[in-house]
Structure 1
Amino acid sequence: MPATTPHARRVTYRYFLVMLAVGMSGGLLGPALPHLAAMTDSTMGQISVLFTARALGNMLGSLLVGRLVDRFSGHRVLVAMLLLMAAGLAVVPISQGLAMLTGVIFLLGLAEVSANAGTNTLLLWAHGKDSPPWISALHFCFGLGNTLVPLVLVLVLALTDHVAWAFWAVALYALLLLWPLAQLESPRLPASSDDTATMPLPDNWRLGLFLFMFGLYVGTEITFAGWVTAYATLRGMPGEDAAVLATLFWLALSVGRLLAIPLLRRFSPWWVLRGCLTLGLASSLALQWDTMPLAVVSLLFGLAASAIFPTLFGLSNQLMAMNGRTTGMIFLAAGSGAMAVPTLTGPLLEQAGTRSFPLLLMALMGLLALSLFTLRARVRHTGR
């Protein structure tokens, strides 16, 4: 389906709204965690099981959604997942026991990643080779949802003094998307076109490189966002100042995805990825050599990370025939990286000290650059 058709634009704008809902749902757990712990009479150590439950739900959803989108109407799948997400959000504030809450969060994680991966797949099918700028805009909406939902929580607590209404407000927003989405025909994987007739199915090497890069990138993103505050505190920065660093990272990441939209219209994905990785390596070096304040490094690293996932996702659509199963594998790899890489950081900081953190970031960015170089060489060798 060409990117210039009115139908493609209409479905795309609805996908932006869906990703805003997914981002808001995903962003609620962290700020609401103390309230959920008090609600279930759990310690912070016990309540942390919710993150594991969500991650496992994400992994199962990644495997499930690809097969569903390939077999059924994509919009029906999205409607079903939005319904499941709204139901999970509605039940969370009334789940009094930790076991019940853990089960609900597992289903919520499944629904969130299914809506996320399904939306990304359908956007690829709607825009074909022209998808990278649209994908970047889509991921900006996800980040915007993550950014807005703490403000929603603060407002709800100020008005009602009860966290439940924040979950119910996001659930209501998700339900409002069902009718507009159901009214439009779902994009389908092009059976044959100039873009896809000669496009190879994903061979093992090419697909393996993409999966490795997606896992590595998401692991890098979560590692920086999750550990930069602890790193700064260990280096002696006051706790209040250190806590702002992750916020600066996410702010720069969101702004960078907006900036990537015109860049991807003018430059190839290869050049954008090279620029991002170069900036990431440079900011890691600045962190290692103490040549910049930590706040500036956080902003630069967020800017460097901003366009990598959407640009890589759009590039995969240019180099492989992307179906729902392949997209599901990508999100499974991303979820695995999000679990594995940050887990290694804590022991590394404990054993090797704070100097290991910038070295780890440099190693991760270096591996991404090497993988991109290998992918480019393979594409040149095979002619695509």
Structure 2
Amino acid sequence: MHRVNSTVSEQTTTRSHRAYFGVFLVVGLSFGLVGPSISLLAEQTNTSLASIGIVLVTYGFGYVLGTQIFARGYDRGYGNRLIGCALLIAASSFALVPFISMRIVLAIVFLMFGTAVSTSDVGCNTLIVWELKDRVGPRLALMHTMFGVGAILSPLIVRASDEIRGDAAIAYWVAGAAIATVATVVLLHRAPLDPHLENRETEVDISKKQIALIVMFFLAYVALEVVFVTWIYTYGIKTGLSKNESAILTSTYWIGFMLGRVATVFLARKSHGILFIQLGAVLNIVVCLVLYLRIDSLLLPCAIIYGIAAAPQFPLMFGFIGNRTSLSGKMTARIVGTAGVSSTTLPWLAGQFLERVGSWTFPTFLACTAATVFIATKLITNSFGVPKHISATN
């Protein structure tokens, strides 16, 4: 009887990673709404584009808050219950957005949303590794691919909402309903257990230098991704594109991003996946150069190439670190918390430059983040070590 119960338990937990795919699908959908809807939120609150940027700051601060406080609950065994409850809070936050006309109240709601999303983000990234162990690589990449699948629809949903109502209400309600549905599915699944629970205390943690390098990488990478997707719509408007053309430009980026995440499923099987991070960073810099030179006829190709190049970098690096450390909720919280710090400050800063200085600052800012990603990847590779045949080609 005990053997049967163990088998049933294992089968139950094995199905949890499929629910995590759904989480990333709706998180991608909701995340992708923010950039294209930022101008509509400014109109809704009767504020300027620069002023409404405060919601990006509070969203990012909430993201950090979630990783530093609530996400530690995964090491205490809360698992899917914590993910599900966090998603329900996120759904409620988005459902409230269309009813808010005060900027400060909207900022508080985005604070709640950021806290909830980061809590679920840490949970999915940690629990899928616990559940699948050495089989996690391609499935982790597939989970992150679902983020792109959700995000690719976001600009079109925002545009449809704008056409129907003249605001972003329908888009936020659709996203809220989708998040609530997935939250229910997650709560019906049993969470995997920490496979390193018994021996984690006896294992040597990674050094402070290695942690600093990891922070450096994810700080730059998140800026590379989030700054682009948050402001590419506005950049398109400032360079003379219509709203429809700017929405298509944003969706084109997400198409490239999704293709890149699909490719990551296969790249994650390769022992030299770390090289693709560096190659992607170089391609991002090349795209930024084209944007800086204002070759407007290449905007759509640039958007799709930028997305393809950026997409594999996070999951490949996360998998690289996960294969070389005993990944805990605390460690994942550090990584995701770094992402939160980056998304708190750098998109807001880039928006200030774009609005107050000029459109040329957009590609310049992005090129700096891509260069930092390249350098950090090289330093991490040297610190953690890679197989000799890879080092020789690098």
Bin for the TM-score computed over the shorter chain: 0.7 to 0.9
What is the SS of the residue equivalent to 2:211? helix
- Residue from 101, 107, 116 that aligns with 2:106: 101
Q: Does 1:211 align with 2:210?
A: no
Distance 1:351 1:49 in 2: 15
Alpha-carbon offset, residue 53 of structure 1 = 2.1
- Which runs of structure 2 are paired with 1:197-346 in the superposition (5 Å)? 200-226=204-230, 238=241, 244-284=248-288, 293-342=298-347, 345=350
Correspondence for 2:194? 189
Gaps spanning 5+ residues in structure 2: where? 1-9, 389-394
Distance 1:100 1:78 in 2: 25
- Residue from 28, 31, 51 that aligns with 2:33: 28
Judged with a 3 Å threshold, the aligned counterparts in structure 2 of structure 1 residues 239 and 178 are, in CA distance, closer, same or farther, namely closer
Judged with a 3 Å threshold, the aligned counterparts in structure 2 of structure 1 residues 136 and 85 are, in CA distance, closer, same or farther, namely same
Deviations 1:21-80 (A, max 9, x none): 222233334444555555555555554432222122112112123311111321111121
- Are the equivalent residues in 1 in contact too, given 2:141–2:262 (CA < 8 A)? yes
Alpha-carbon offset, residue 376 of structure 1 = 1.7
Judged with a 3 Å threshold, the aligned counterparts in structure 2 of structure 1 residues 226 and 81 are, in CA distance, closer, same or farther, namely closer
- Residue from 76, 88, 95 that aligns with 1:90: 95
- Are the equivalent residues in 2 in contact too, given 1:134–1:261 (CA < 8 A)? yes
Judged with a 3 Å threshold, the aligned counterparts in structure 2 of structure 1 residues 271 and 293 are, in CA distance, closer, same or farther, namely same
Distance 1:166 1:284 in 2: 30
CA RMSD of aligned residues (A): 3.8
Alpha-carbon offset, residue 360 of structure 1 = 4.9
Aligned letter for 1:315? Answer: F
Distance 2:115 2:359 in 1: 35
Alpha-carbon offset, residue 215 of structure 1 = 0.6
- Are the equivalent residues in 1 in contact too, given 2:196–2:326 (CA < 8 A)? no
Judged with a 3 Å threshold, the aligned counterparts in structure 2 of structure 1 residues 108 and 242 are, in CA distance, closer, same or farther, namely closer
Alpha-carbon offset, residue 107 of structure 1 = 0.9
Aligned letter for 1:144? Answer: V
Judged with a 3 Å threshold, the aligned counterparts in structure 2 of structure 1 residues 285 and 189 are, in CA distance, closer, same or farther, namely same
Q: Does 1:10 align with 2:15?
A: yes
- Are the equivalent residues in 1 in contact too, given 2:54–2:348 (CA < 8 A)? no
Alpha-carbon offset, residue 172 of structure 1 = 3.0
Distance 1:298 1:202 in 2: 37
Correspondence for 1:127? 132
Correspondence for 2:119? 114
Correspondence for 2:153? 148
- Which runs of structure 2 are paired with 1:136-175 in the superposition (5 Å)? 136-153=141-158, 164-175=169-180
Distance 1:299 1:162 in 2: 27
TM-score by length of 2: 0.80
Alpha-carbon offset, residue 276 of structure 1 = 2.2
What is the SS of the residue equivalent to 1:177? helix
- Are the equivalent residues in 2 in contact too, given 1:226–1:246 (CA < 8 A)? no
What is the SS of the residue equivalent to 2:268? helix
- Are the equivalent residues in 2 in contact too, given 1:220–1:361 (CA < 8 A)? yes
Most deviating of 93-102 and 351-360: 351-360
- Are the equivalent residues in 1 in contact too, given 2:68–2:333 (CA < 8 A)? yes
Gaps spanning 5+ residues in structure 1: where? none
Distance 1:228 1:156 in 2: 19
Judged with a 3 Å threshold, the aligned counterparts in structure 2 of structure 1 residues 148 and 129 are, in CA distance, closer, same or farther, namely same
Distance 1:217 1:21 in 2: 21
Alpha-carbon offset, residue 85 of structure 1 = 1.6
Aligned letter for 2:279? Answer: G
Aligned letter for 1:269? Answer: G
Most deviating of 42-51 and 156-165: 156-165
Distance 1:228 1:177 in 2: 29
Figure out how many residues of one structure are paired with residues of the other and give that number. 377
Judged with a 3 Å threshold, the aligned counterparts in structure 2 of structure 1 residues 156 and 361 are, in CA distance, closer, same or farther, namely closer
Distance 1:362 1:41 in 2: 33
